[in-house]
Amino acid sequence: MRQGIVRSALDDFSTAVAWTPGFAEAWHKRTTVHFPMGDDPASIAERRRTLALEPRHFAALGGLGPICLKLDVKHAALEALEKALEINPHLPGTRQKVRELRDKLDGKKT
């Protein structure tokens, strides 16, 4: 995936999902391909699948935040990012993003 061969990476992660459909990380890896491809509905659906299998998957929650922001669903973004921080309080940049979102939702200028 890092070499830019996105379609091949998606095929590989799809194979992993087919072999181990109960393995949350296989689903999460597919989301990491869908997001840069711009396939937000697939990325959201597979993050939700990841979270159904592993509710404490902070990377899935943390990644859901930017997608929700992109779709201008600020409350959902805030909720996802706050949950991610509850699980892993050391996520880079996430605490600041939560503060900014809270301020926006409260009508404060950031």
89 inside domain: yes
Domain count, the chain: 1
Q: Which of 40, 109, 95, 46 is nearest to 81 (CA)?
A: 95
Report if residue 110 sits inside a domain.
no
With a cut of 80, say whether residue 110 has pLDDT above it. Answer: no
What pLDDT shows up at residue 2?
Answer: 58
Of the candidates 94, 28, 38, the one whose C-alpha atom is nearest the C-alpha of residue 79 is 94
User: 89 or 3: whose pLDDT is higher?
Assistant: 89
Question: What CA–CA distance (Å, rounded) separates 6 from 12?
Answer: 10
The answer to whether residue 1 is domain-embedded is: no
Which whole number is the average pLDDT over 34-61? 94
State which residues form the domain around 80.
6-105
| pTM, two decimal places | 0.87
The pLDDT value recorded for residue 107 is: 87
Structural domain contains residue 77: yes
**Secondary element (H or E) of residue 46:** helix 40-53
In this prediction, residue 8 carries a pLDDT of 87
What is the average pLDDT value for the chain, to the nearest integer?
92
The pLDDT of residue 17: 96
CATH number for the domain including 31? 1.25.40.10
Rounded mean pLDDT, 69-90: 96
Tokens describing residue 45? 């659906």
Whether the per-residue pLDDT at 37 is higher than 90: the answer is no
